[in-house]
């Protein structure tokens, strides 16, 4: 039976909801739609990925379950199985908003991190077929110091980044001519000796015809080629 604020909350609803029942059986004082619990708990309640008795399993919105879901852990059976206490999950005898205590939920995540679960569904008489995404577990104890600091740090507005200042001097490009507008200056060739190739003169004897001997110009030419 719900009492106090939880009873007042339920009076305006046609059937029992998961939130007031999870709050009652776990003692975790969070309010609002189930999908807001995980973020609300940040900095106030410890959170984690391992089930503990009394912890609240926080489901993410998925498919028709647009507001999420919360359920309290009543027993840890093994590393993959827990028993839950929750409300408004299975329709029983055609009616929604029913309470279910000590019903099975199984971790079906690949990493065994409880990020996906299958939950007992009364109309099937066994586990439902849907893999429901889970945020994690909210524990009824104060948030760890490092988690509180992380939340406070993330709540600060991002600081404006300082304007970028180049460390290169303003005259860095002074005197630089773009390649497209620059004509390469021709460098004078260095004065250097070209090795002379000495051609050995062949010892040869040019026969002078009798006609050339009588020709003075011919004699001059003949004397130069010797």
Cα distance between residue 199 and residue 157, in whole Å: 91
pLDDT score recorded for residue 148: 56
pLDDT score recorded for residue 15: 79
Fold type of domain 4-155:
endopeptidase fold (from Nostoc punctiforme) (3.90.1720)
Tell me which residue has tokens 């893999």. Answer: 131
Contact 75, 83 (CB under 8 A): yes
Cα distance between residue 120 and residue 84, in whole Å: 9
User: What would the mean pLDDT of 121-150 be, rounded to a whole number?
Assistant: 90
Q: Over pLDDT 70: what percentage of the chain?
A: 58
pLDDT score recorded for residue 188: 52
Query: Quick one: which of 136, 142, 128, 132 has its CA closest to 58?
Result: 136
Please count the other Cβ atoms lying within 10 Å of the Cβ belonging to residue 67.
14
Cα distance between residue 65 and residue 134, in whole Å: 12
Contact 120, 127 (CB under 8 A): yes
Q: How far is CA 3 from CA 13, 20, 21, 207, in A?
A: 15, 10, 10, 146
Question: Is the pTM value of this prediction over 0.85?
Answer: no
User: What would the mean pLDDT of 162-183 be, rounded to a whole number?
Assistant: 45
């Amino acid at each position: 039976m719900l009492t106090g604020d939880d009873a007042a909350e339920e009076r305006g609803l046609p059937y029992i909801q998961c939130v007031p029942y999870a709050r009652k059986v776990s003692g975790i004082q969070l309010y609002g739609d189930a999908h807001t619990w995980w973020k609300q708990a940040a900095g106030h309640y410890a959170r984690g990925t391992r089930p503990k008795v009394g912890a609240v399993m926080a489901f993410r919105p998925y498919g028709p379950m647009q507001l999420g879901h919360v359920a309290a852990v009543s027993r840890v059976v093994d590393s993959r199985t827990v028993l839950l206490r929750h409300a408004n999950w299975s329709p029983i005898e055609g009616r929604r908003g029913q309470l279910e205590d000590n019903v099975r939920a199984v971790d079906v995540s690949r990493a065994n991190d409880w990020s996906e679960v299958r939950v007992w569904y009364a109309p099937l008489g066994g586990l439902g077929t849907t893999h429901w995404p889970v945020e994690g577990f909210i524990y009824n104890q104060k948030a760890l110091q490092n988690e509180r600091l992380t939340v406070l740090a993330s709540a600060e507005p991002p600081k404006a980044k300082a304007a970028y200042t180049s460390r290169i001097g303003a005259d860095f490009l002074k005197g630089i001519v773009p390649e497209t507008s620059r004509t390469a200056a021709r460098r004078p060739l260095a004065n250097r000796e070209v090795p002379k190739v000495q051609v050995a003169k062949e010892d040869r004897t040019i026969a002078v015809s009798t006609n050339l001997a009588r020709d003075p110009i011919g004699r001059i030419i003949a004397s130069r080629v010797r």
